[in-house]
Amino acid sequence: MRSRNPQRQSARSAAQRVASLRAAVAAAALCSFSAFADDIGYEELVARLGTAVPTGVGVRAAQCEAPEAAGSPAPYGPNQTLPEFSGKTFSAQSGTPAVSSHATFVAGVYYGNNSIARGVGTIYLYEANNFLSSHLRYGQGSSVAPVAPPSVLMKVYNHSWIGGLGTGGAPVAGDLEILRRADFQMNRDDTLYCVGMNNGATSVTYPLMAMGYNGISVGRMDGEHSRGDVPAAADGPGRMKPEIVAPGNATSWAAPLVGAAALLLYDTALSTLPINPNADETTVIKACLLAGTTHRAGWTNNPVTSGAQRGSTVKPLDAVSGADLLNIDRSHQILTSGEFAGATSAAAAVAGSIIGWDYENLPATNATRFWRFTISQSAPELSVIAAWNRVATTSIAVPQLADLSLSLLRVGSDGIAVPLEGDAGAAFYGSGNVASRSAVDNIEHLYVRDLAAGDYIIQVSRGGTSTAAAPFSLAWFVTPRAADLNRDGAVGGLDLTILLGGWGSTGIADINRDGTVDGSDLTILLSSWG
Protein backbone atom coordinates (compact mmCIF):
# COMPACT_ATOMS: atom_id res chain seq x y z
CA MET A 1 0.00 0.00 0.00
CA ARG A 2 0.98 3.60 -0.38
CA SER A 3 0.62 6.50 1.93
CA ARG A 4 -2.05 9.10 1.23
CA ASN A 5 0.71 11.67 1.51
CA PRO A 6 3.34 10.89 -1.15
CA GLN A 7 5.95 13.04 0.56
CA ARG A 8 7.11 10.12 2.63
CA GLN A 9 7.02 6.44 1.72
CA SER A 10 8.61 3.46 3.38
CA ALA A 11 8.80 -0.04 1.95
CA ARG A 12 7.65 -3.07 3.91
CA SER A 13 8.48 -6.71 3.45
CA ALA A 14 4.95 -8.00 4.00
CA ALA A 15 3.48 -10.14 1.27
CA GLN A 16 1.11 -7.32 0.36
CA ARG A 17 3.97 -4.80 0.06
CA VAL A 18 2.18 -2.22 2.17
CA ALA A 19 3.82 1.17 2.58
CA SER A 20 3.49 3.03 5.86
CA LEU A 21 0.91 5.75 6.25
CA ARG A 22 2.17 9.19 7.14
CA ALA A 23 0.26 11.13 9.77
CA ALA A 24 -1.32 14.27 8.41
CA VAL A 25 -2.29 15.88 11.71
CA ALA A 26 -1.34 15.74 15.37
CA ALA A 27 -3.27 13.32 17.54
CA ALA A 28 -4.51 16.14 19.76
CA ALA A 29 -6.19 17.90 16.84
CA LEU A 30 -9.33 15.83 17.02
CA CYS A 31 -12.22 16.69 14.75
CA SER A 32 -15.62 17.76 15.99
CA PHE A 33 -18.55 17.06 13.69
CA SER A 34 -19.88 20.54 14.53
CA ALA A 35 -17.59 21.99 11.89
CA PHE A 36 -19.41 19.91 9.26
CA ALA A 37 -22.92 19.66 10.74
CA ASP A 38 -24.53 22.17 8.42
CA ASP A 39 -22.74 20.84 5.32
CA ILE A 40 -23.97 17.27 5.78
CA GLY A 41 -27.55 17.91 6.91
CA TYR A 42 -26.94 16.99 10.54
CA GLU A 43 -28.43 20.20 11.92
CA GLU A 44 -31.61 19.46 9.97
CA LEU A 45 -31.65 15.91 11.34
CA VAL A 46 -31.45 17.19 14.92
CA ALA A 47 -34.09 19.86 14.26
CA ARG A 48 -36.41 17.20 12.88
CA LEU A 49 -35.83 14.47 15.48
CA GLY A 50 -34.68 16.29 18.60
CA THR A 51 -33.57 13.87 21.30
CA ALA A 52 -34.60 10.93 19.12
CA VAL A 53 -31.66 11.52 16.75
CA PRO A 54 -29.72 8.27 16.25
CA THR A 55 -26.14 8.09 17.53
CA GLY A 56 -24.99 4.66 16.37
CA VAL A 57 -25.49 3.16 19.82
CA GLY A 58 -26.95 -0.06 18.40
CA VAL A 59 -24.06 -0.98 16.11
CA ARG A 60 -20.31 -1.56 16.16
CA ALA A 61 -17.61 -0.16 13.92
CA ALA A 62 -14.36 -1.38 12.39
CA GLN A 63 -11.37 0.85 11.68
CA CYS A 64 -8.67 -0.40 9.33
CA GLU A 65 -5.41 1.57 9.21
CA ALA A 66 -2.10 1.20 7.46
CA PRO A 67 0.72 1.40 10.04
CA GLU A 68 1.92 4.94 10.53
CA ALA A 69 5.55 3.86 10.80
CA ALA A 70 7.69 0.78 11.19
CA GLY A 71 7.89 -0.70 14.65
CA SER A 72 6.61 -3.36 16.98
CA PRO A 73 3.88 -3.06 18.06
CA ALA A 74 2.71 -1.46 14.84
CA PRO A 75 1.28 2.07 15.25
CA TYR A 76 -2.19 1.60 13.79
CA GLY A 77 -4.60 2.48 16.61
CA PRO A 78 -6.06 5.67 18.11
CA ASN A 79 -4.93 7.14 21.41
CA GLN A 80 -7.45 5.40 23.62
CA THR A 81 -6.56 7.49 26.70
CA LEU A 82 -8.07 10.68 25.29
CA PRO A 83 -11.43 11.93 26.64
CA GLU A 84 -12.67 11.73 23.04
CA PHE A 85 -12.81 7.94 23.47
CA SER A 86 -13.92 7.59 27.08
CA GLY A 87 -16.48 4.85 27.47
CA LYS A 88 -15.38 3.11 24.26
CA THR A 89 -14.32 -0.52 24.14
CA PHE A 90 -11.57 -1.32 21.65
CA SER A 91 -10.89 -4.82 20.36
CA ALA A 92 -7.55 -5.12 18.56
CA GLN A 93 -7.81 -7.68 15.77
CA SER A 94 -4.19 -7.37 14.55
CA GLY A 95 -2.21 -7.42 17.76
CA THR A 96 -1.87 -4.69 20.35
CA PRO A 97 -1.46 -1.41 18.45
CA ALA A 98 0.85 1.47 19.18
CA VAL A 99 -0.69 4.94 18.87
CA SER A 100 -1.09 6.43 15.40
CA SER A 101 -1.93 10.14 15.13
CA HIS A 102 -3.63 9.45 11.79
CA ALA A 103 -5.78 6.70 13.33
CA THR A 104 -6.61 9.01 16.24
CA PHE A 105 -7.93 11.73 13.97
CA VAL A 106 -9.91 9.25 11.84
CA ALA A 107 -11.41 7.79 15.00
CA GLY A 108 -12.47 11.22 16.22
CA VAL A 109 -14.45 11.83 13.04
CA TYR A 110 -15.79 8.29 12.83
CA TYR A 111 -17.02 7.35 16.31
CA GLY A 112 -15.48 9.79 18.84
CA ASN A 113 -17.57 11.40 21.53
CA ASN A 114 -17.82 14.54 19.40
CA SER A 115 -18.82 12.70 16.21
CA ILE A 116 -22.29 12.15 14.79
CA ALA A 117 -21.86 8.45 15.67
CA ARG A 118 -20.78 9.15 19.24
CA GLY A 119 -23.03 6.38 20.57
CA VAL A 120 -20.91 3.61 19.06
CA GLY A 121 -19.39 1.82 22.02
CA THR A 122 -17.39 -1.08 20.56
CA ILE A 123 -14.73 -0.68 17.89
CA TYR A 124 -12.64 -3.35 16.17
CA LEU A 125 -9.16 -2.25 15.09
CA TYR A 126 -7.32 -3.76 12.12
CA GLU A 127 -3.85 -3.17 10.71
CA ALA A 128 -4.20 -3.11 6.93
CA ASN A 129 -1.64 -5.83 6.10
CA ASN A 130 -3.15 -8.16 8.66
CA PHE A 131 -6.66 -7.31 7.47
CA LEU A 132 -5.82 -8.50 3.97
CA SER A 133 -4.11 -11.70 5.09
CA SER A 134 -6.06 -12.73 8.20
CA HIS A 135 -9.49 -11.24 7.63
CA LEU A 136 -9.95 -11.31 3.85
CA ARG A 137 -7.50 -14.26 3.67
CA TYR A 138 -5.82 -13.08 0.52
CA GLY A 139 -3.73 -15.73 -1.26
CA GLN A 140 -5.18 -18.71 0.62
CA GLY A 141 -7.18 -20.30 -2.19
CA SER A 142 -10.78 -20.36 -3.34
CA SER A 143 -11.88 -22.75 -0.61
CA VAL A 144 -10.86 -20.29 2.11
CA ALA A 145 -13.48 -17.57 2.49
CA PRO A 146 -13.03 -14.24 4.30
CA VAL A 147 -13.57 -14.30 8.04
CA ALA A 148 -17.00 -13.20 9.21
CA PRO A 149 -17.18 -9.99 11.25
CA PRO A 150 -16.50 -10.49 14.98
CA SER A 151 -20.10 -9.50 15.72
CA VAL A 152 -23.36 -9.43 13.76
CA LEU A 153 -23.65 -5.83 14.96
CA MET A 154 -20.35 -4.96 13.23
CA LYS A 155 -21.64 -3.16 10.13
CA VAL A 156 -19.22 -0.53 8.82
CA TYR A 157 -15.51 -0.79 7.99
CA ASN A 158 -13.62 2.45 7.47
CA HIS A 159 -10.57 2.33 5.19
CA SER A 160 -8.68 5.63 5.30
CA TRP A 161 -5.73 4.23 3.39
CA ILE A 162 -4.86 3.49 -0.20
CA GLY A 163 -2.56 0.92 -1.74
CA GLY A 164 -1.81 -1.71 -4.29
CA LEU A 165 0.37 -4.75 -4.84
CA GLY A 166 1.82 -3.47 -8.09
CA THR A 167 3.86 -0.39 -8.88
CA GLY A 168 2.75 3.00 -10.14
CA GLY A 169 -0.79 2.63 -8.86
CA ALA A 170 -1.99 0.20 -11.55
CA PRO A 171 -4.01 -2.84 -10.41
CA VAL A 172 -2.52 -6.33 -10.68
CA ALA A 173 -3.99 -9.81 -10.24
CA GLY A 174 -3.49 -9.81 -6.47
CA ASP A 175 -5.39 -6.54 -6.13
CA LEU A 176 -8.32 -8.01 -8.05
CA GLU A 177 -8.44 -11.00 -5.71
CA ILE A 178 -8.46 -8.72 -2.67
CA LEU A 179 -11.27 -6.61 -4.08
CA ARG A 180 -13.28 -9.70 -4.99
CA ARG A 181 -12.85 -11.01 -1.47
CA ALA A 182 -13.93 -7.67 -0.03
CA ASP A 183 -17.04 -7.59 -2.22
CA PHE A 184 -17.79 -11.20 -1.30
CA GLN A 185 -17.59 -10.37 2.40
CA MET A 186 -19.82 -7.29 2.11
CA ASN A 187 -22.42 -9.20 0.11
CA ARG A 188 -22.39 -12.22 2.42
CA ASP A 189 -22.39 -10.38 5.74
CA ASP A 190 -24.35 -7.19 4.97
CA THR A 191 -21.45 -4.92 5.82
CA LEU A 192 -20.28 -1.76 4.12
CA TYR A 193 -16.76 -0.49 3.42
CA CYS A 194 -16.31 3.29 3.33
CA VAL A 195 -13.10 3.97 1.44
CA GLY A 196 -11.18 7.19 0.86
CA MET A 197 -9.93 8.05 -2.61
CA ASN A 198 -6.36 9.25 -3.14
CA ASN A 199 -5.81 12.94 -2.41
CA GLY A 200 -5.11 15.24 -5.33
CA ALA A 201 -7.08 15.87 -8.52
CA THR A 202 -5.75 12.93 -10.55
CA SER A 203 -7.24 9.97 -12.36
CA VAL A 204 -8.18 6.92 -10.29
CA THR A 205 -5.03 5.27 -8.95
CA TYR A 206 -4.23 2.65 -6.28
CA PRO A 207 -6.90 -0.02 -6.38
CA LEU A 208 -7.10 -0.88 -2.68
CA MET A 209 -9.79 -0.36 -1.67
CA ALA A 210 -11.30 2.35 -3.87
CA MET A 211 -11.87 0.24 -7.01
CA GLY A 212 -14.28 -2.20 -5.37
CA TYR A 213 -17.90 -2.58 -6.40
CA ASN A 214 -19.89 -3.11 -3.22
CA GLY A 215 -18.46 -0.42 -0.94
CA ILE A 216 -18.62 3.36 -1.18
CA SER A 217 -15.59 5.29 -2.41
CA VAL A 218 -15.42 8.75 -0.88
CA GLY A 219 -13.98 11.97 -2.25
CA ARG A 220 -13.58 15.45 -0.81
CA MET A 221 -16.22 18.16 -0.88
CA ASP A 222 -13.68 20.52 -2.47
CA GLY A 223 -12.97 18.07 -5.31
CA GLU A 224 -9.29 17.55 -4.44
CA HIS A 225 -9.31 13.79 -4.86
CA SER A 226 -8.61 11.24 -7.58
CA ARG A 227 -11.54 10.69 -9.87
CA GLY A 228 -12.74 9.24 -13.15
CA ASP A 229 -13.11 5.78 -14.61
CA VAL A 230 -11.70 2.58 -13.18
CA PRO A 231 -8.77 1.63 -15.49
CA ALA A 232 -8.64 -1.23 -17.97
CA ALA A 233 -6.50 -3.50 -15.78
CA ALA A 234 -9.17 -3.65 -13.07
CA ASP A 235 -12.46 -5.50 -12.86
CA GLY A 236 -15.18 -3.51 -14.59
CA PRO A 237 -13.15 -0.85 -16.38
CA GLY A 238 -15.07 2.34 -17.00
CA ARG A 239 -16.94 2.36 -13.68
CA MET A 240 -17.13 5.80 -12.06
CA LYS A 241 -15.36 6.80 -8.83
CA PRO A 242 -16.00 8.24 -6.28
CA GLU A 243 -19.66 7.62 -5.44
CA ILE A 244 -20.01 10.40 -2.83
CA VAL A 245 -18.10 13.32 -1.31
CA ALA A 246 -17.93 14.75 2.20
CA PRO A 247 -16.23 17.65 4.02
CA GLY A 248 -12.60 17.38 5.10
CA ASN A 249 -9.22 18.61 3.89
CA ALA A 250 -8.16 15.00 3.27
CA THR A 251 -10.08 11.95 2.12
CA SER A 252 -8.91 10.27 5.31
CA TRP A 253 -11.39 12.51 7.16
CA ALA A 254 -14.14 12.51 4.53
CA ALA A 255 -14.42 8.69 4.45
CA PRO A 256 -15.11 8.23 8.20
CA LEU A 257 -17.72 10.98 8.06
CA VAL A 258 -19.62 8.92 5.49
CA GLY A 259 -18.93 5.85 7.64
CA ALA A 260 -20.44 7.60 10.65
CA ALA A 261 -23.54 8.45 8.62
CA ALA A 262 -23.81 4.79 7.61
CA LEU A 263 -23.57 3.80 11.28
CA LEU A 264 -26.55 6.05 12.06
CA LEU A 265 -28.59 4.43 9.30
CA TYR A 266 -27.67 0.92 10.45
CA ASP A 267 -28.59 1.92 14.01
CA THR A 268 -31.96 3.14 12.72
CA ALA A 269 -32.52 -0.03 10.69
CA LEU A 270 -31.76 -2.32 13.61
CA SER A 271 -33.44 -0.39 16.42
CA THR A 272 -36.28 1.58 14.80
CA LEU A 273 -37.10 -0.71 11.86
CA PRO A 274 -36.29 -4.17 13.28
CA ILE A 275 -39.45 -5.77 11.92
CA ASN A 276 -38.13 -5.27 8.38
CA PRO A 277 -35.20 -7.60 7.67
CA ASN A 278 -34.42 -5.71 4.47
CA ALA A 279 -33.67 -2.42 6.20
CA ASP A 280 -30.04 -3.26 7.00
CA GLU A 281 -29.18 -4.74 3.63
CA THR A 282 -25.89 -3.28 2.40
CA THR A 283 -27.40 -2.01 -0.82
CA VAL A 284 -30.33 -0.40 1.04
CA ILE A 285 -27.97 1.62 3.23
CA LYS A 286 -25.82 2.48 0.22
CA ALA A 287 -28.81 3.54 -1.90
CA CYS A 288 -30.20 5.72 0.92
CA LEU A 289 -26.85 7.47 1.37
CA LEU A 290 -26.46 8.17 -2.35
CA ALA A 291 -30.05 9.13 -3.11
CA GLY A 292 -30.08 11.54 -0.19
CA THR A 293 -27.09 13.61 -1.27
CA THR A 294 -27.18 17.36 -1.80
CA HIS A 295 -26.61 18.01 -5.50
CA ARG A 296 -24.75 21.30 -5.62
CA ALA A 297 -24.66 23.83 -8.44
CA GLY A 298 -22.67 22.48 -11.38
CA TRP A 299 -23.41 18.82 -10.66
CA THR A 300 -24.12 16.86 -13.82
CA ASN A 301 -24.06 13.35 -15.18
CA ASN A 302 -24.08 14.78 -18.71
CA PRO A 303 -27.40 13.64 -20.15
CA VAL A 304 -28.18 13.95 -23.85
CA THR A 305 -29.68 17.40 -24.47
CA SER A 306 -31.74 16.90 -27.62
CA GLY A 307 -33.42 14.31 -29.79
CA ALA A 308 -35.00 10.95 -29.05
CA GLN A 309 -32.54 10.21 -26.21
CA ARG A 310 -32.79 13.57 -24.53
CA GLY A 311 -32.52 13.16 -20.78
CA SER A 312 -30.65 9.84 -20.91
CA THR A 313 -27.11 9.12 -19.76
CA VAL A 314 -24.69 6.18 -19.72
CA LYS A 315 -22.61 7.79 -16.96
CA PRO A 316 -24.82 7.85 -13.86
CA LEU A 317 -22.61 10.04 -11.65
CA ASP A 318 -20.80 13.35 -11.79
CA ALA A 319 -17.22 12.82 -12.97
CA VAL A 320 -15.78 14.57 -9.89
CA SER A 321 -18.30 14.37 -7.06
CA GLY A 322 -20.23 11.16 -7.76
CA ALA A 323 -23.75 11.47 -6.33
CA ASP A 324 -22.39 14.58 -4.56
CA LEU A 325 -22.44 15.81 -0.96
CA LEU A 326 -23.44 13.61 1.97
CA ASN A 327 -26.77 14.65 3.55
CA ILE A 328 -27.60 12.47 6.55
CA ASP A 329 -31.00 14.10 7.15
CA ARG A 330 -32.28 13.24 3.69
CA SER A 331 -30.81 9.73 3.83
CA HIS A 332 -32.46 9.14 7.20
CA GLN A 333 -35.79 10.38 5.83
CA ILE A 334 -35.54 7.90 2.96
CA LEU A 335 -34.84 4.95 5.25
CA THR A 336 -37.56 5.80 7.78
CA SER A 337 -40.19 6.61 5.15
CA GLY A 338 -40.49 2.88 4.67
CA GLU A 339 -40.23 0.14 2.07
CA PHE A 340 -42.64 0.23 -0.86
CA ALA A 341 -42.87 -2.89 -2.99
CA GLY A 342 -42.52 -2.53 -6.73
CA ALA A 343 -45.20 -3.80 -9.15
CA THR A 344 -44.63 -6.11 -12.10
CA SER A 345 -46.42 -3.73 -14.47
CA ALA A 346 -46.87 0.01 -14.74
CA ALA A 347 -50.64 -0.37 -14.57
CA ALA A 348 -50.40 -2.29 -11.30
CA ALA A 349 -48.15 0.25 -9.58
CA VAL A 350 -49.96 1.91 -6.67
CA ALA A 351 -49.14 5.49 -5.68
CA GLY A 352 -46.81 5.55 -2.71
CA SER A 353 -44.68 8.05 -0.87
CA ILE A 354 -42.57 10.74 -2.51
CA ILE A 355 -39.72 9.49 -0.30
CA GLY A 356 -38.92 5.82 0.20
CA TRP A 357 -37.02 2.70 -0.76
CA ASP A 358 -37.40 -0.93 -1.77
CA TYR A 359 -35.33 -4.10 -1.82
CA GLU A 360 -36.25 -6.30 -4.79
CA ASN A 361 -34.94 -9.05 -7.00
CA LEU A 362 -35.01 -9.28 -10.79
CA PRO A 363 -34.31 -12.97 -11.40
CA ALA A 364 -34.50 -12.93 -15.18
CA THR A 365 -33.34 -10.83 -18.09
CA ASN A 366 -36.04 -8.43 -19.34
CA ALA A 367 -37.76 -8.42 -15.94
CA THR A 368 -39.01 -5.01 -14.79
CA ARG A 369 -40.37 -3.39 -11.64
CA PHE A 370 -42.41 -0.17 -11.26
CA TRP A 371 -43.01 2.33 -8.41
CA ARG A 372 -45.54 5.15 -8.60
CA PHE A 373 -45.71 8.47 -6.78
CA THR A 374 -47.72 11.67 -7.10
CA ILE A 375 -46.70 15.28 -6.53
CA SER A 376 -49.44 17.90 -6.25
CA GLN A 377 -47.06 20.82 -6.70
CA SER A 378 -43.94 21.13 -8.80
CA ALA A 379 -40.95 19.64 -6.98
CA PRO A 380 -37.52 21.31 -6.83
CA GLU A 381 -35.65 17.99 -7.12
CA LEU A 382 -36.04 14.27 -7.61
CA SER A 383 -33.13 11.95 -6.81
CA VAL A 384 -33.31 8.19 -7.44
CA ILE A 385 -30.61 5.57 -6.94
CA ALA A 386 -30.63 1.88 -7.88
CA ALA A 387 -27.72 -0.02 -6.31
CA TRP A 388 -26.79 -3.68 -6.40
CA ASN A 389 -23.83 -5.87 -5.54
CA ARG A 390 -21.66 -8.01 -7.74
CA VAL A 391 -21.91 -11.60 -6.59
CA ALA A 392 -19.68 -14.67 -6.84
CA THR A 393 -19.90 -18.32 -5.89
CA THR A 394 -16.53 -18.17 -4.13
CA SER A 395 -14.51 -15.29 -2.75
CA ILE A 396 -11.99 -15.33 -5.60
CA ALA A 397 -14.15 -16.36 -8.54
CA VAL A 398 -14.67 -13.75 -11.24
CA PRO A 399 -17.96 -12.23 -10.08
CA GLN A 400 -20.96 -11.65 -12.27
CA LEU A 401 -22.82 -8.38 -12.44
CA ALA A 402 -26.42 -7.91 -13.50
CA ASP A 403 -27.15 -5.11 -15.97
CA LEU A 404 -29.94 -2.89 -14.64
CA SER A 405 -31.28 0.36 -16.06
CA LEU A 406 -33.35 3.09 -14.44
CA SER A 407 -35.89 5.46 -15.98
CA LEU A 408 -38.73 7.86 -15.14
CA LEU A 409 -42.20 7.74 -16.74
CA ARG A 410 -45.14 10.14 -16.54
CA VAL A 411 -48.71 8.92 -16.26
CA GLY A 412 -50.95 10.82 -18.69
CA SER A 413 -54.58 11.76 -18.31
CA ASP A 414 -55.48 8.51 -20.11
CA GLY A 415 -53.71 6.50 -17.40
CA ILE A 416 -50.93 5.37 -19.74
CA ALA A 417 -47.34 5.65 -18.52
CA VAL A 418 -45.05 7.28 -21.08
CA PRO A 419 -41.22 7.55 -20.81
CA LEU A 420 -39.93 11.09 -20.31
CA GLU A 421 -36.88 10.37 -22.43
CA GLY A 422 -36.90 12.48 -25.60
CA ASP A 423 -37.69 16.05 -26.54
CA ALA A 424 -41.39 15.77 -25.71
CA GLY A 425 -40.71 14.64 -22.15
CA ALA A 426 -38.53 17.66 -21.44
CA ALA A 427 -41.69 19.76 -21.12
CA PHE A 428 -42.24 18.23 -17.68
CA TYR A 429 -38.92 19.00 -16.03
CA GLY A 430 -36.35 21.77 -15.99
CA SER A 431 -33.07 19.86 -16.25
CA GLY A 432 -31.34 16.62 -15.37
CA ASN A 433 -31.66 13.04 -16.54
CA VAL A 434 -34.71 10.79 -16.72
CA ALA A 435 -32.91 7.61 -17.84
CA SER A 436 -29.66 6.02 -16.60
CA ARG A 437 -28.15 3.13 -18.57
CA SER A 438 -24.57 2.36 -17.63
CA ALA A 439 -23.32 -0.94 -19.00
CA VAL A 440 -20.61 -1.33 -16.33
CA ASP A 441 -21.58 0.43 -13.10
CA ASN A 442 -23.55 -1.20 -10.31
CA ILE A 443 -25.31 2.10 -9.64
CA GLU A 444 -27.88 3.91 -11.76
CA HIS A 445 -28.95 7.44 -10.90
CA LEU A 446 -31.72 9.82 -11.90
CA TYR A 447 -31.51 13.45 -10.89
CA VAL A 448 -34.22 15.83 -12.10
CA ARG A 449 -34.78 19.51 -11.26
CA ASP A 450 -38.13 21.33 -11.35
CA LEU A 451 -40.35 18.32 -11.91
CA ALA A 452 -43.91 19.32 -12.86
CA ALA A 453 -46.86 18.28 -10.71
CA GLY A 454 -48.36 14.96 -11.74
CA ASP A 455 -48.20 11.18 -11.47
CA TYR A 456 -44.87 9.48 -12.13
CA ILE A 457 -43.44 5.98 -12.27
CA ILE A 458 -39.89 4.86 -11.56
CA GLN A 459 -38.90 1.87 -13.66
CA VAL A 460 -36.03 -0.58 -13.11
CA SER A 461 -35.35 -3.04 -15.92
CA ARG A 462 -32.86 -5.84 -16.35
CA GLY A 463 -31.03 -6.46 -19.61
CA GLY A 464 -27.76 -8.01 -20.68
CA THR A 465 -26.77 -11.67 -20.72
CA SER A 466 -25.64 -12.26 -17.14
CA THR A 467 -27.51 -15.00 -15.28
CA ALA A 468 -26.34 -13.76 -11.87
CA ALA A 469 -28.84 -13.15 -9.13
CA ALA A 470 -30.00 -9.54 -9.18
CA PRO A 471 -31.21 -8.40 -5.78
CA PHE A 472 -31.07 -4.60 -5.79
CA SER A 473 -32.15 -1.62 -3.74
CA LEU A 474 -34.01 1.43 -4.95
CA ALA A 475 -34.14 4.70 -3.00
CA TRP A 476 -35.84 7.94 -4.00
CA PHE A 477 -36.24 11.41 -2.58
CA VAL A 478 -38.51 14.14 -3.91
CA THR A 479 -37.34 17.33 -2.22
CA PRO A 480 -40.46 18.55 -0.44
CA ARG A 481 -41.39 22.16 0.05
CA ALA A 482 -40.37 23.39 3.50
CA ALA A 483 -43.99 23.55 4.65
CA ASP A 484 -44.80 20.00 3.46
CA LEU A 485 -44.34 18.65 6.97
CA ASN A 486 -45.81 15.19 6.38
CA ARG A 487 -43.90 14.76 3.10
CA ASP A 488 -46.95 13.82 1.03
CA GLY A 489 -46.17 16.17 -1.85
CA ALA A 490 -48.64 18.91 -0.96
CA VAL A 491 -49.11 21.60 1.71
CA GLY A 492 -52.52 21.30 3.37
CA GLY A 493 -54.56 20.51 6.46
CA LEU A 494 -52.39 17.65 7.68
CA ASP A 495 -49.36 19.93 7.69
CA LEU A 496 -51.30 22.60 9.57
CA THR A 497 -52.26 19.99 12.20
CA ILE A 498 -48.61 19.05 12.66
CA LEU A 499 -47.60 22.70 13.00
CA LEU A 500 -50.28 23.54 15.55
CA GLY A 501 -49.43 20.40 17.51
CA GLY A 502 -45.84 21.56 17.81
CA TRP A 503 -46.64 25.18 18.63
CA GLY A 504 -44.13 26.76 20.98
CA SER A 505 -41.62 23.93 20.67
CA THR A 506 -39.06 23.01 18.03
CA GLY A 507 -38.79 20.14 15.58
CA ILE A 508 -39.90 19.53 12.01
CA ALA A 509 -42.64 22.22 12.24
CA ASP A 510 -40.01 24.88 12.89
CA ILE A 511 -39.98 25.68 9.19
CA ASN A 512 -37.67 28.69 9.35
CA ARG A 513 -35.34 26.95 11.82
CA ASP A 514 -35.32 29.81 14.35
CA GLY A 515 -35.77 27.45 17.31
CA THR A 516 -39.51 27.90 17.91
CA VAL A 517 -42.71 26.89 16.11
CA ASP A 518 -44.66 30.14 15.98
CA GLY A 519 -46.48 32.64 13.80
CA SER A 520 -43.56 33.00 11.38
CA ASP A 521 -43.77 29.31 10.54
CA LEU A 522 -47.55 29.54 10.18
CA THR A 523 -47.13 32.39 7.71
CA ILE A 524 -44.73 30.30 5.60
CA LEU A 525 -47.12 27.33 5.64
CA LEU A 526 -50.15 29.38 4.62
CA SER A 527 -48.23 31.05 1.80
CA SER A 528 -47.45 27.58 0.40
CA TRP A 529 -50.99 26.22 0.82
CA GLY A 530 -52.23 23.95 -1.95
As a whole number of angstroms, the distance between CA 281 and CA 23 comes to 34
As a whole number of angstroms, the distance between CA 162 and CA 159 comes to 8
As a whole number of angstroms, the distance between CA 95 and CA 38 comes to 38
Q: Which residue has the higher pLDDT, 489 or 451?
A: 451
List the one residue out of 66, 73, 194 whose CA is nearest residue 132. 66
Q: Are residues 317 and 364 in the same domain?
A: yes
Q: Is 16 a residue whose pLDDT tops 50?
A: no
Of the listed ranges 46-50, 149-153, 454-458, the least confidently predicted one is 46-50
At 516, the pLDDT band (50, 70, 90 cuts) reads confident
Is 356 part of any domain? yes
The reply to whether the predicted model has a pTM over 0.95 is no
Q: Is 23 a residue whose pLDDT tops 60?
A: no
Q: Are residues 507 and 458 in the same domain?
A: no
At 205, the pLDDT band (50, 70, 90 cuts) reads confident
Q: Is 19 a residue whose pLDDT tops 70?
A: no
Q: What is the mean pLDDT of residues 213-235?
A: 96
Q: What is the mean pLDDT of residues 25-42?
A: 61
In percent, the amount of the chain with pLDDT more than 70 equals 93
pLDDT tens digits along 123-152:
999 999 999 999 999 999 988 999 999 999
Q: Are residues 319 and 216 in the same domain?
A: no
Is 122 part of any domain? yes
Q: Are residues 194 and 153 in the same domain?
A: yes
Contact yes or no for 82/117 (Cβ under 8 A): no
Is 113 part of any domain? yes
Q: What is the mean pLDDT of residues 155-160?
A: 98
**CATH code for the domain of 455:** 2.60.120.380
> Tell me, what's the pLDDT at 489?
65
Q: Are residues 62 and 178 in the same domain?
A: yes
- The DSSP annotation for 134-145 comes to IIS-TTS-TTSP
Q: Are residues 395 and 514 in the same domain?
A: no
What is the domain range of residue 267?
33-272
As a whole number of angstroms, the distance between CA 504 and CA 456 comes to 37
Q: Is 482 a residue whose pLDDT tops 90?
A: no
Mean pLDDT of the residues in the chain: 89
As a whole number of angstroms, the distance between CA 240 and CA 442 comes to 10
> Tell me, what's the pLDDT at 70?
85
Q: Are residues 94 and 152 in the same domain?
A: yes
Q: Are residues 365 and 460 in the same domain?
A: yes
Of the listed ranges 192-201, 282-291, 371-380, the least confidently predicted one is 371-380
> Tell me, what's the pLDDT at 17?
38
What is the number of domains present in the chain?
3
In percent, the amount of the chain with pLDDT more than 90 equals 73
Burial of 51 (0-12, 13-18, 19+ CB in 10 A): exposed
Q: What is the mean pLDDT of residues 225-241?
A: 95
Of the listed ranges 177-181, 239-243, 418-422, 476-480, the least confidently predicted one is 476-480
Q: Are residues 199 and 292 in the same domain?
A: no
Q: What is the mean pLDDT of residues 434-455?
A: 97
Q: Are residues 377 and 400 in the same domain?
A: yes
